[in-house]
Structure 1
Amino acid sequence: MSEMVVEQDQQELLPRRLRLVEAVAITFSSVGCVAGVYSLFGFSFTTAGPAMIWGWIAVSVVALFMCLCWAELASHMPLAGSLYHWARAVAGPSVGWWVGWMYLLSLILIVAGWFFIIPTTLGPLLGIEFTPLQSSLVVFAAIAFAATVNGLGIELLGKLATVGTVLELIVGLALTGWLFFASDHQPASTFFNLGAAENLSQWWPLLFGGGIFVAVWVLFAFEFAGAVGEETKDPHRAAPRGVMLALVGTLIVGTATLVVFILAVPDNNTIASSSTPIPDIFNAWLPGWVAKVYLILLLWIEILGTNAFFAAVSRQLFGMARAGQLPMSRVLSKTKNGRPYVAVAVVAIIALVPLIFSQQMSVLATGSTACAFATYFVVLLAVLIGRLRGWPRTRAPFSLGKAGIPVNVIAVAGTLGILVLMLWPNDNANPFFGGLRVAYWLLGGIIVSGLLVFLLGRRKLIAASAAEDGLLEFETREASDKSPTA
């Protein structure tokens, strides 16, 4: 490859302005551990009882193996539009395009569901119950705010996310620690309480049909560290560290929070039937103002978390547009002062579309998460096949080495298991919407729209992706140069 191509590819990269701590904070905030636990604790607790904790443990193991794969991929290719580039590099342009399309639309659906957490926190804080219209207006304002912050640049978001991470640690550890010592908590045997089920045969369907969902909703999106890795200093080392550090932080905070909340439940039946289970648990053992402080901090965390998630979605859109893989790619890939401002504006507009069809956060969360895991499964399977064919042929600063294939196999199996659970026809995790299950609507819509775009513009899309070879080659060589064994 000529030096001219290398220089051109370097110019196409977004400026590297983030420090490692800021990249980790953005990833950790976008995962939204405390916010996710708050929003879906009642759903999973009601479905599977205190024994829901075992679902968290099982998904944590799957997330670990997934993140090891993401970390290695991010070390090789820390680029905006992460999953698209990774799938393309190991399986070719057609697979890459489909992965990118599925992932992009899944993220857009998820970001709408993410924003719906905000009114569920703001309502109890203000002591009112929002109507569907009022909730939509709150979501609209939050999306507008996220677009504004993202439009001002990744540096501002990195600083805000760092503050948000500190606050999340305070909420996740300090307040829940106080709750643990203040409560007349239940014995450890409560973790084997099956809730409404009388035996294990009745409980397994409840766990997989809803009890596990709080874990599935929280323990994903760690690949975002690869997406913002392009804008991070020393990206080939920082991106994989970002993936793993965000995972470790989430597992510590999430596990501690769930354990304390379950132990502090004053009465299982009361909390299972409550519309505000977390505030009720706090109010049962601590002064009334503590729950208010928790909600205030939680609201701030949610605002920053949605902003971080919004950033990752806009980078996915920008990354695919830069590679010429979307309609109107030239417009969508425009930047100003290193900021993908058009992608930010378009994500804001598109994220409002789901509000027209559904104003239920649970409906968006279940279906869109299933779509995301469908994408994960395709990527991990493609990477596994790539490994069997000799990938990676060069080393990067983070490498799984000989452990790559067994780690990848476990990640594929675990992701497939979660995907099957998300697509299973049950009324808890995959409810009916308009005569069809939510996940089928959303996944089917993504596939049908993808077929239209891909078939109509296949030749142009494949030809445009060829121009990306130089960028991937440059990133691969840079990763190899930074590898300890280089």
Structure 2
Amino acid sequence: MTSTSDPPPGDAPPSRTDDARLADLGYSSEFRRDMSLWANFSLGFTYLSPVVGIYTLFASSLAVGGPPMIWSLLIVGAGQFLVALVFGEIVSQYPLTGGIYPWARRLWGRRWAWMAGWVYLVALLVTIASVAYGAGPYLAAFLGIEAGAGNTVLCALVILAVALAVNLAGTRVLAVAAIVGFAAELVGALAVGGWLLFTQRHHGLGVLFDSFGAGSGSGYFTAFLAAGLIGIFQYYGFEACGDVAEEVPDPTRRIPKAMRMTIYVGGAAATFVCLALLLAVPDFAAVVSGTDADPVTNVLTTAFGATGLKVVLGVVLLSFLSCALSLQAAASRLLYSYARDDMIAGSRAFRRFSPVRRIPPNALLVAAVVPALVVLGSIVSEDALVKIISFAVLGIYLGFQMVVLAALRARVRGWRPAGPFTLGRAGLAVNVAALAYGVLAIANMAWPRTPGAPWYDNYLVALSGLVVVAAGLVYLLVARPYDKGDAPSGDAIPQEVTR
């Protein structure tokens, strides 16, 4: 692995500016490079959001797999770190706004890039809705109002509106908000976790190897795979560092570093939060049996009381808001990247740019309005919202692996990463391992686990993925967006190889 000040052969000389490097890739940028390394890292960290990920799935994972479910955070973290290394090589050579879509375009071609971006964009928009909806009950509790369906939806819409307002203020405000969100989340996670460890610890570390009866029916390995979804749902967000590549000075070096920092700092924080909560749960058997259905709230209420709980809820809300901010920014940059290449209906509107705030306002509106419509759908049926959200993480992973596969194909056909950050001889092995991990993670997410439910519920995740992919294929074949625009594509592979 190399990341030096001297670029490898074929890379642009160090004296060239970021804009000149971008021009070499066929683009001129309207964005302002106001995002420092720490702001870029904070964007990825708040997207990954240890508090959001752990607090959302702690109860269900503990009930299914018992305390050993914490080990999934380490396993998945290692797998996603491999993906982050592959992405680091790509963004170091192609520091382009939009991330997944332009990377796939340069590594493979227009059709593949369109599908990868489509799957990822739909997943992002649905994920924004899920984060806002997940924040609803916390905001309702913070305000002291009943967390019924109507209030939850209203609170979720407030979260979306606030996130949109911050994003519309421009890159500099987004960068500051990301850093504030990172600081609040990290300090909150450490403070809350530390307090729980010092005042509410009921167990020793030995419980991390005791299932407390979880998985006794189907076998523990199967139960651990199901509980391991907490890890799979936790470790994405590092790609957001690359989604804003044209807003970061010296992106070819800074963004790969920010991606790696997001994984190991975010992963460490998530593991610490999970460990503190686990050791503070007084009765694991009650959680496994379903008697204690909300161990997080019960632990926090016992530890902090009514007043302290308000403070903790405030930290949790900041985490959800920061996560929604980062997701909106990532989705808007992806949509703008599509529109800049004239690859989607409404491109003229979506590539409109604010010359004052240096952001794509219409793309940002889509990143707020579409999630708001998904949230509003829960008024008709909360179960319908759950069904729609089931695709979100699967879509993220599908988008990831389409890029990882494109990188492996390009590497086999002669591509040699030419940015300042490269993996060197280890690149091929890391690429293969990253793809193998991603395929296994996707299989684990899509695996049917409710044999007593109707078949369409049992195969819900796989079916939702197929629907989105099929819709994308129909649009691709009918509208033929890949025939529009003249932006470079497939040029990572040396031309003499492709002839």
| Cα deviation digits, residues 271-323 of structure 1 (max 9, x gap) | 45444322311333455433332111111221122111111111111111111
- Equivalenced residues, count: 465
**Aligned position for 1:484:** none
Alignment of 1:262 with 2:278, yes or no, is: yes
Equivalent residue of 1:12, what SS? coil
Provide the C-alpha distance between the structure 2 equivalents of 1:166 and 1:64, rounded to a whole number of angstroms.
23
Alignment of 1:113 with 2:121, yes or no, is: no
Q: In the superposition, relative to structure 1, how do residues 165 and 433 fare at CA in structure 2: closer, same or farther (>3 Å)?
A: farther
Normalising by structure 1, we get a TM-score of 0.89
Taking every aligned residue pair, what percent have the same amino acid on both sides?
A: 26
**Aligned position for 2:14:** none
Provide the C-alpha distance between the structure 1 equivalents of 2:96 and 2:104, rounded to a whole number of angstroms.
12
Alignment of 1:225 with 2:248, yes or no, is: no
Provide the C-alpha distance between the structure 1 equivalents of 2:59 and 2:146, rounded to a whole number of angstroms.
17
Provide the C-alpha distance between the structure 1 equivalents of 2:217 and 2:436, rounded to a whole number of angstroms.
23
Aligned counterpart for 2:398 among listed residues 368, 371, 374: 374
Q: Superposition pairs for residues 119-158 of structure 1, below 5 Å? A: 119-126=136-143, 128-158=145-175
Structure 1 runs of 4+ with >6 Å offset: 430-434
Displacement of 1:270 in angstroms is 3.9
Q: In the superposition, relative to structure 1, how do residues 59 and 7 fare at CA in structure 2: closer, same or farther (>3 Å)?
A: closer
Gaps of 5+ in 2: 1-19, 495-499
Check whether the contact 2:94–2:103 (CA below 8 A) recurs between aligned residues. yes
Check whether the contact 1:229–1:238 (CA below 8 A) recurs between aligned residues. no
Larger helix proportion of the pair? 1
**Aligned position for 2:482:** 461
Q: Superposition pairs for residues 79-90 of structure 1, below 5 Å? A: 79-90=96-107
Provide the C-alpha distance between the structure 1 equivalents of 2:277 and 2:453, rounded to a whole number of angstroms.
27
Q: In the superposition, relative to structure 1, how do residues 19 and 198 fare at CA in structure 2: closer, same or farther (>3 Å)?
A: closer
Provide the C-alpha distance between the structure 2 equivalents of 1:123 and 1:403, rounded to a whole number of angstroms.
50
Displacement of 1:12 in angstroms is 3.5
Alignment of 1:15 with 2:28, yes or no, is: no
Q: In the superposition, relative to structure 1, how do residues 193 and 128 fare at CA in structure 2: closer, same or farther (>3 Å)?
A: farther
Aligned counterpart for 1:167 among listed residues 177, 184, 191: 184
Provide the C-alpha distance between the structure 2 equivalents of 1:313 and 1:232, rounded to a whole number of angstroms.
17
| Cα deviation digits, residues 100-120 of structure 1 (max 9, x gap) | 111111111111111112113
Equivalent residue of 1:353, what SS? helix
Alignment of 1:342 with 2:362, yes or no, is: yes
Displacement of 1:330 in angstroms is 1.5
Provide the C-alpha distance between the structure 2 equivalents of 1:296 and 1:335, rounded to a whole number of angstroms.
34
Q: In the superposition, relative to structure 1, how do residues 42 and 68 fare at CA in structure 2: closer, same or farther (>3 Å)?
A: same
**Aligned position for 2:5:** none
Displacement of 1:122 in angstroms is 2.2
**Aligned position for 2:211:** 194
**Aligned position for 1:481:** none
Provide the C-alpha distance between the structure 1 equivalents of 2:237 and 2:34, rounded to a whole number of angstroms.
22
Provide the C-alpha distance between the structure 2 equivalents of 1:142 and 1:432, rounded to a whole number of angstroms.
34
Aligned counterpart for 1:314 among listed residues 332, 353, 371: 332
**Which deviates further from its counterpart, 86-95 or 132-141?**
132-141
**Aligned position for 2:223:** 206
**Aligned position for 1:354:** 374
Check whether the contact 1:266–1:284 (CA below 8 A) recurs between aligned residues. no
Normalising by structure 2, we get a TM-score of 0.87
Q: CA-atom RMSD, angstroms? A: 2.6
Alignment of 1:91 with 2:116, yes or no, is: no
Check whether the contact 1:381–1:412 (CA below 8 A) recurs between aligned residues. yes
Check whether the contact 1:271–1:280 (CA below 8 A) recurs between aligned residues. no
Check whether the contact 2:240–2:326 (CA below 8 A) recurs between aligned residues. no
**Aligned position for 2:256:** 240
Provide the C-alpha distance between the structure 2 equivalents of 1:20 and 1:184, rounded to a whole number of angstroms.
37
**Aligned position for 1:401:** 424
Aligned counterpart for 1:28 among listed residues 45, 59, 71: 45
Check whether the contact 1:81–1:319 (CA below 8 A) recurs between aligned residues. yes
Alignment of 1:445 with 2:462, yes or no, is: no
**Aligned position for 1:252:** 268
Displacement of 1:396 in angstroms is 1.0
Q: For residue 276 of structure 2, what is the amino acid of its counterpart?
A: V
Gaps of 5+ in 1: 477-486
Displacement of 1:216 in angstroms is 1.2
Q: In the superposition, relative to structure 1, how do residues 362 and 218 fare at CA in structure 2: closer, same or farther (>3 Å)?
A: farther
Check whether the contact 1:110–1:364 (CA below 8 A) recurs between aligned residues. no
Q: Superposition pairs for residues 28-47 of structure 1, below 5 Å? A: 28-47=45-64
Q: In the superposition, relative to structure 1, how do residues 98 and 469 fare at CA in structure 2: closer, same or farther (>3 Å)?
A: closer
